[in-house]
Amino acid sequence: MTGAVTRQQVEDFLFQEAALLDEWRLDEWLALFEAGATYEVPTTDRPNEDPSRSQYYVWDDYELLTARVRRLKSKHAHAENPHSRTRRLVTNVRVGELEDSSLPVRAAFLIYKIRDGNVDQFVGRYEHILTANGDGLRFRKRRAVLELEVLRPGGRLSFIL
Amino acid sequence: MTQATTAPQVGLRGRRSPYVFEDWDARIFRVSREVFRSEEVFARERRVWDRVWLYLGHETEVPKPGDFKIRTLAGRPLIFSRDSTGQVRAYLNSCPHRGTILCRETEGNAKTYQCFYHAWTFANTGELVGIPDPGAYPPERGFAAQMGLRPLPRFENYRGFVFVSFALTGQSLREHLGDARDYIDLMADHAADGLEVIPGTHLYGIRGNWKLAVENAMDGYHFSPTHVTFVEYLKTTGYVTSDEGGRAITLQNGHSVLVFSGHGGRVGMQWEPRFGEAERLRVEENVRRLAARVGEERAAQVSHTSRILYVFPNLLLFDIEGLAARQLEPIAPGITDVRAWELGPAGESDAARALRIRILGSFIGPGGLATPDDVEAYECVQRGVVATAGDPRPEVDWSDISRGMEREARGEPARNVDEAGIRGFWRHWDDVVTGTSA
């Protein structure tokens, strides 16, 4: 990809990602990350703290992210077997300035997670860093920040936020 | 239940309460599933929580003078703080005037707390220092002195872990903790300069009774089947887990502890391949310094065994891959709030701290590779025990906790893959909830 990245290109990327997650196509989802990329979810009481100094809900380096995907594909990932139904609404997309192949992207999300008679809602914002190299967009850092005060009800991030 | 037709012997041989059945002749221990569903049981438990020591938090959560956090304990809103003189405090978060929530920020730093409703102002040491139009209260009657912030009736600190009680009298904290202190000491001994709470709290709700979280933590039996995906992940990093040599130790006052040696390495203390080469050198150095500080034998105990300590009723201390404190706050029979903090030695290097956070987080917490499956277990039990409620067959509505009784009866030490620790919990729970013990 050369030159400016448009919001439409970023939205297409995020909407396609949401579809892959809602359909539990996790190998294809993992392929959206560049090698060495991270996935992080800070706690609700320290949304802006650095993960090396603060407990996080999720702080995956690429190896742990790969392990997370491998786990979620197993029928022994009991928390998601059977899989939750999810529907992700991704909106309010804002694209920052491309710098050294890093593209900051902000968006809002609302995720409905449905399982066992419960409908849980997870609302928050994405603070991603994408890369825009020759072959399209990829995640360099995928960061989901919850607006919830407490992860309640449904206190598990067993799915991908 | 069928076993009830033959009367169990009393005392050490057995127990037959509405909630707990124990028969050492038959080697059977069962718990009525009513304990997970009943509003009446929940109300009885609340009365217990109103008189026993409850874990409030760690003193390093409020490190600087003026720091405060609000926290609900046994359903009551509290302020956990450090006053301007440096003393750690706990107050009811309710204005002495008319009961308004006084502090509406979740955390911060304040010399005073002001109630927004009528603008009464309290020093962080508790004194009422400001009332608009004070002349309406006769000064010679000492009105302001009666109306300071309400501290908790009892408050004690054991090695940085702060406990409170809503009762004016009862056991001292040291008596209540008893031998659990030894295991808190083992955890505290990790650090030459004390443990500190790492910022960032796991705050989450589960759709399950609080006692299911206790059972789960004192249950090494579930580890292999429930956490098979985590075990497989460790295998890919070059570590093979083992249940060999684990112990369950029942302490008095409802506390118990599981001891492990083969579930994973321990950051700073016991190396495992995924920790990386830099950590291998740090571990050698840490263990050498630890031995110099506490002696070889104790150093081996601190560094090379993992432990999960349950302190009745609301605290779990994890001394495993990393260090963590987990607080259980029952909301309703089928709903529990969980708060979990990670701890680390004060003053450890940035690299060690970052590794500690990543390693523990890979296992526990709502986003870890293991805890979500525990939450699934609590929630599935909570949904499942509805099936047997009111069943006409009296033996059906009971859960079985008998595993390992035969071994225990032979006088062998209880394994962590047996259910001895859970039985100890239930005996004490039964004593205090049915009122046969303080």
CATH of the domain at A138: 3.10.450.50
Higher pLDDT, B10 or A69: A69
Give the 3-state secondary structure of residue A28: helix
Cα–Cα distance for residue pair B429/B45, rounded to 1 Å: 9
Q: What size, in residues, is chain B? A: 438
What was the pLDDT predicted at B9?
A: 36
Rounded to two decimals, what is the model's pTM?
0.95
Q: What is the pLDDT of residue A132?
A: 87
Q: Are residues B200 and A55, on separate chains, in Cβ contact within 8 Å?
A: yes
Residue of B199, B338, B369 lying closest to A67 (CB–CB): B369
Beta-carbon contacts of residue B136 (< 8 Å; ≥ 6 apart)? none
The whole-number pLDDT of residue A1 equals: 52
Residue of A83, A84, A90, A69 lying closest to A16 (CA atoms): A90
Q: What is the pLDDT of residue B8?
A: 36
**Chain A nearest CA to B123, separation (Å):** 26
Q: Encode pLDDT of A109-119 as tens digits.
A: 999 999 999 99
Q: Does A151 touch chain B (CB under 8 A)?
A: yes
d(CA A148, CA B342): 20
Domain count for chain A: 1
Distance CA A5, CA A98 (A): 8
Contact (CB, 8 A) for B78 and B92: yes
Helices B210-217 and B371-384, interaxial angle, to 10°? 130
Question: Chain A: residue nearest B340 by CA?
Answer: A55
User: What does the domain layout of chain B look like in residue ranges?
Assistant: 54-165, 173-433
Facing residue for A151 by CB, picked from B205, B335, B353: B205
The type of residue at A143 is R
Alpha helices (H) along chain A:
7-22, 26-30, 62-72
CB-based contact, A147 to chain B, within 8 Å: no
The CA distance from B190 to B188, in Å, is 5
Which chain B residue's Cα is nearest to A160? B367
Say yes or no for a CB contact (<8 Å) between B207 and A56. Answer: no
CA-to-CA distance for B253 and B437, rounded, in angstroms? 10
Which of B373, B374, B378, B380 to substitute to test the interface with A, most A CBs within 10 Å? B373
> Can you tell me whether residue A108 is helix, strand or coil?
strand
Interatomic CA distance for residues B337 and B72, integer angstroms: 10
Give the nearest partner residue to A52 out of B207, B350, B365, using CB atoms.
B350
Q: Using an 8 Å CB-CB cutoff, list chain A residues near B365.
A: 55, 57
Residue in A closest to B234 by C-alpha: A67
CB contact under 8 A, A156 and B341: no
Digit-by-digit pLDDT tens for chain B (438 residues) are: 333 333 333 445 789 999 999 999 999 999 999 999 999 999 999 999 999 999 999 999 999 999 999 999 999 999 999 999 999 999 999 999 999 999 999 999 999 999 999 999 999 999 999 999 988 998 778 899 999 999 999 999 999 999 999 999 999 999 999 999 999 999 999 999 999 999 999 999 999 999 999 999 999 889 889 999 998 998 999 888 887 889 999 999 999 999 988 778 999 999 999 999 999 999 999 999 999 999 999 999 999 999 999 999 999 999 999 999 999 999 999 999 999 999 999 999 999 999 999 999 999 999 999 999 999 999 999 999 999 999 999 999 999 999 999 999 999 999 999 999 999 999 999 999 998 765
Q: Which of A78, A118, A155 sits opposite B373 (nearest CB)?
A: A78
CB B385 within 8 A of CB B35: no
A155 and B205 within 8 Å at the Cβ level: the answer is yes
Contact between B366 and A116 using a beta-carbon 8 Å cutoff: no
Tokens of B107: 């955390």
**A14: in domain:** yes
The tens digit of pLDDT for each residue in B352-380 reads 999 999 999 999 999 999 999 999 999 99
Helix/strand/coil (H, E, C) string of chain B? CHHHHCCCCCHHHEEECCCEEEECCCCEEEEECHHHHCHHHHHHHHHHHCCCCEEEEEHHHCCCCCEEEEEEECCEEEEEEECCCCCEEEEECCCCCCCCCCCCCCEEECCEEECCCCCCEEECCCCEEECCCHHHCCHHHCHHHHCCCCECCEEEEECCEEEEECCCCCCCHHHHHCCHHHHHHHHHCCCCCCEEECCCCEEEEECCCHHHHHHHHCCHHHHHHHCHHHHHHHHHCCCCCCCCCCEEEECHHHCEEEEECCCCCECCCECCHHHCHHHHHHHHHHHHHHHHHHCHHHHHHHHHCEEEEEECCCEEEEECCCEEEEEEEEEECCEEEEEEEEEEECCCCHHHHHHHHHHHHHHCCCCCCCHHHHHHHHHHHHHHCCCCCCCCCCCCCEEECCCCHHHHHCCCCCECCCCHHHHHHHHHHHHHHCCCCC
B77: tokens are 């809103």
Interface predicted TM-score of the whole assembly (ipTM), two decimals = 0.95
From B130, B196, B135, B182, select the one nearest B345 (Cα to Cα).
B196
Beta strands B195-197; B107-109: pairing state: unpaired
Do you find a cis peptide bond into A82, omega within 30 degrees of 0?
yes
Domain residue limits at A45: 7-146
By a Cβ cutoff of 8 Å, what residues of chain B touch chain A?
106-107, 198-207, 226, 228-230, 232-233, 236, 335, 337-338, 341-342, 350, 353-354, 357-358, 360-362, 365-367, 369, 371-373, 375-377, 379, 383
Mean pLDDT throughout A15-35?
98
Q: What is the CATH number of domain B54-165?
A: 2.102.10.10
Q: A45 to chain B: which residues are within 8 Å by CB? A: 106-107, 200-201, 203
Contact A46 B200 (CB under 8 A): yes
Rounded to the nearest angstrom, the minimum Cα separation between B228 and chain A is 7
Question: CATH number of the domain at B173-433, out of 3.90.380.10, 3.40.50.1110, 1.25.40.10, 3.40.50.1370?
Answer: 3.90.380.10
N residues, chain A: 161
- In chain B, what residues touch A76 (CB-CB under 8 Å)? 228-229, 232
CA pair distance B300, B269, nearest whole angstrom:
9
Look at residues B26, B48, B5 and name the one whose alpha carbon lies nearest to residue B431.
B48
Task: Report chain B residues whose CB lies below 8 A from the CB of A44.
Answer: 201, 203
Angle in degrees, CA B272, B277, B281, rounded to 5: 90
- Residue B8 · residue B21 · CB < 8 Å: yes
A47–B contact, CB cutoff 8 A: no
Dump pLDDT digits (tens) for A74-98. 999 999 999 999 999 999 999 999 9
**pLDDT at res. B77:** 98
CB atoms B203 and A152 under 8 Å: yes
